[in-house]
């Protein structure tokens, strides 16, 4: 029949196995941690661990503890942890003499209930620290990687997701596309954006708004990008609305824009769906600043561009019917073009002779309600001829006005020049 001490030794092995399985930590590391914890308990209990030898047996999954004490005459023991009386020493071996060192094995149970409880708590704490360090080191090397994870719970400011290994990952609201809405159990794709290790507790942050997320998806969808035949110079986004991508190929046989878009948009359709309908403009990169800015303002076609290299600004001149295209709905096109090129872009309408008798829209406030005029001006149009030069379909599509309202405005403006 096994003794109490033997049973406690077996319990220690089982505990080590449980920790290894639960924490996914290798046995060698576990034994090293266990030795640290035992030495910590010994120091707290006896004031020092210098006279203790701890022999780790990683292959067996256990360890042995030995205490070394100096033999002193009977009645002269001052420190029972460091010294042993001659009579007690001879109970171990009958030939010990004064001044010699006695080495005895210390059983796990000899530490007492309180020390064992302290050991257990220290071990759990150390294992948790080790687990956090392992998690941090794993994910900090994966920053920039696309990951798929299942939604576990959503709150107002963030969504908690879990990967295949059960790691908790955070998708903040600020890193979500405005129209994102996730249900529990739904699979979400995002990029590992950053890993915060404040207070030793790793917090893995995901992002769906990062330009790098779009780049990684392009690398998956476009073989030429993944193979390095096409270079992505820059990606800028207004998440969920619109994005612009500047690409270049050093192989004249490859059309970088066509390769990225695919036949009838086949290669970007999946990305657009993943990004909740975000429109993607792909343009050819150019070292020529004027050409690059002109391409960045697509679908508008500038007539002339003046560059100020010192102030990093560009004055772009367009025909009246191109101004609204250059600006885009809500100013998104010109904003993205500025972000892509790094230049502050100002748009100007080219003055034409036939426009000398043009009339500002504000002059029609007695005939057209001011809020309607404001809606039209949001399209980048300030004068009557600019509105009349734009197509009826364009005005209906780009503004938030009803067709009957557009028709009424066009009628009033046209009558001014009859």
Concatenating the DSSP letter of every residue in 337-351 gives HHHHHS-EEEEEEPP
134 lies in the same domain as 11: yes
Phi (first) and psi of residue 316, to 5 degrees: -110, 130
Q: Output the pLDDT for position 102.
A: 92
Q: How confident is the model at residue 134 (pLDDT cuts 50, 70, 90)?
A: confident
CA proximity to 241, closest of 330, 301, 326, 143: 330
Concatenating the DSSP letter of every residue in 107-128 gives PGGGGHHHHHHHHHHHHHHHHH
Whether pLDDT at 128 is above 90: no
CATH value at residue 161: 2.40.50.140
Query: Is residue 115 domain-resident?
Result: yes
CATH value at residue 55: 3.30.1480
Query: Is residue 143 domain-resident?
Result: no
Whether pLDDT at 393 is above 80: no
Can you give the residue range of the structural domain that contains 94?
A: 4-138
Please tell me the pTM assigned to this model.
0.67
CA dist., res. 310 & res. 306, Å (int):
12
Q: Output the pLDDT for position 12.
A: 47
159 lies in the same domain as 183: yes
387 lies in the same domain as 403: yes
What pLDDT digit, counting tens, does each position of 48-105 carry? 889 999 887 766 667 788 999 999 999 999 999 899 999 999 988 989 999 999 999 8
Query: Is residue 247 domain-resident?
Result: yes
Whether pLDDT at 167 is above 50: yes
CA dist., res. 11 & res. 230, Å (int):
61
Query: Is residue 15 domain-resident?
Result: yes
329 lies in the same domain as 362: no
Query: Is residue 238 domain-resident?
Result: yes
269 lies in the same domain as 317: no
In terms of average pLDDT, the best of 19-23, 88-92, 206-210 is 206-210
120 lies in the same domain as 238: no
Query: Is residue 314 domain-resident?
Result: yes
How many CB atoms neighbour CB 325 within 10 A?
21
CA dist., res. 337 & res. 105, Å (int):
76
Q: Which helix (H) or strand (E) holds 244?
A: strand 242-249
- Decide: 61 and 15 in contact? Cβ < 8 Å: no
What pLDDT digit, counting tens, does each position of 282-324 carry? 999 999 999 999 999 999 999 999 999 999 999 999 988 888 8
Q: Output the pLDDT for position 59.
A: 66
113 lies in the same domain as 30: yes
Q: Output the pLDDT for position 60.
A: 66
Q: Which two tokens stand for residue 116?
A: 């064992």
Q: Output the pLDDT for position 7.
A: 41
Q: Which two tokens stand for residue 186?
A: 């739904």
35 lies in the same domain as 108: yes
Burial of 176 (0-12, 13-18, 19+ CB in 10 A): buried
- Decide: 94 and 49 in contact? Cβ < 8 Å: no
Q: What share of the chain is helix, strand, coil (3-state, %, to 5)?
A: 45, 25, 30
16 lies in the same domain as 113: yes
Whether pLDDT at 263 is above 70: yes
Q: Output the pLDDT for position 385.
A: 86
164 lies in the same domain as 290: no
- Decide: 224 and 254 in contact? Cβ < 8 Å: yes
Whether pLDDT at 129 is above 80: yes
Query: Is residue 323 domain-resident?
Result: yes
- Please provide the average confidence, as pLDDT, over all residues in the chain: 86
66 lies in the same domain as 154: no
What pLDDT digit, counting tens, does each position of 218-261 carry? 999 999 999 999 999 999 999 999 999 999 998 889 999 999 99
CATH value at residue 306: 3.30.300.20
Q: Give the number of domains in the chain.
A: 5
345 lies in the same domain as 358: no
- Decide: 185 and 230 in contact? Cβ < 8 Å: no
Residue where a domain terminates, one of 246, 279, 312: 279
Residue where a domain terminates, one of 350, 369, 402: 350
CA dist., res. 414 & res. 392, Å (int):
13
């Amino acid at each position: 029949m096994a003794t109490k001490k033997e049973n406690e030794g077996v319990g220690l092995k089982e505990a080590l196995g449980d920790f290894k399985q639960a924490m996914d930590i290798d046995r060698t590391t576990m034994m090293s941690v266990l030795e640290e914890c035992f030495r910590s308990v010994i120091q707290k209990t006896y004031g020092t661990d210098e006279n203790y030898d701890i022999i780790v047996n990683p292959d067996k999954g256990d360890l042995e503890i030995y205490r070394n004490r100096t033999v002193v005459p009977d009645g002269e023991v001052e420190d029972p942890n460091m010294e042993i009386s001659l009579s007690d020493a001879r109970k171990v071996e009958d030939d010990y003499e004064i001044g010699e060192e006695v080495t005895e094995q210390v059983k796990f149970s000899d530490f007492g209930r309180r020390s064992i409880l302290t050991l257990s708590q220290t071990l759990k704490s150390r294992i948790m620290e080790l687990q956090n360090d392992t998690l941090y080191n794993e994910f900090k090397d994966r920053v920039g990687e696309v990951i798929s994870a299942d939604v576990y719970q959503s709150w107002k400011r963030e969504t908690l997701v879990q990967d295949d290994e059960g790691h908790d990952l955070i998708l903040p609201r600020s890193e979500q596309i405005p129209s994102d809405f996730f249900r529990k159990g739904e699979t979400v794709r995002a990029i590992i954006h950053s890993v915060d290790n404040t207070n030793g507790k790793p917090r893995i942050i995901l992002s769906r708004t990062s330009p790098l997320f779009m780049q990684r998806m392009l690398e998956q969808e476009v073989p030429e990008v993944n193979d390095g035949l096409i270079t992505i110079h820059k990606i800028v986004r207004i998440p969920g609305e619109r994005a612009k991508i500047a690409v270049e190929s050093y192989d004249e046989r490859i059309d970088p824009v066509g390769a990225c878009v695919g036949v009838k948009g086949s290669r970007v359709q999946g990305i657009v769906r993943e990004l909740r309908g975000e429109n993607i403009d792909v343009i050819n990169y150019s070292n020529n600043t004027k050409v690059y800015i002109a391409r960045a303002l697509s679908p508008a076609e500038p007539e002339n561009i003046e560059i100020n290299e010192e102030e990093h600004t560009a004055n772009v001149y367009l025909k009246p019917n191109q101004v609204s295209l250059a600006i885009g709905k809500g100013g998104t096109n010109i904003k993205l073009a500025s972000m892509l090129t790094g230049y502050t872009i100002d748009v100007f309408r080219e003055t034409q002779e036939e426009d000398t008798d043009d009339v500002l829209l504000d002059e029609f406030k007695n005939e057209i309600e001011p809020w309607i005029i404001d809606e039209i001006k949001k399209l980048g149009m300030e004068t009557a001829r600019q509105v009349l030069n734009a197509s009826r379909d364009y005005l209906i599509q780009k503004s938030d006005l009803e067709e009957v309202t557009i028709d009424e405005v066009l009628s009033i403006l046209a009558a001014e020049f009859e």
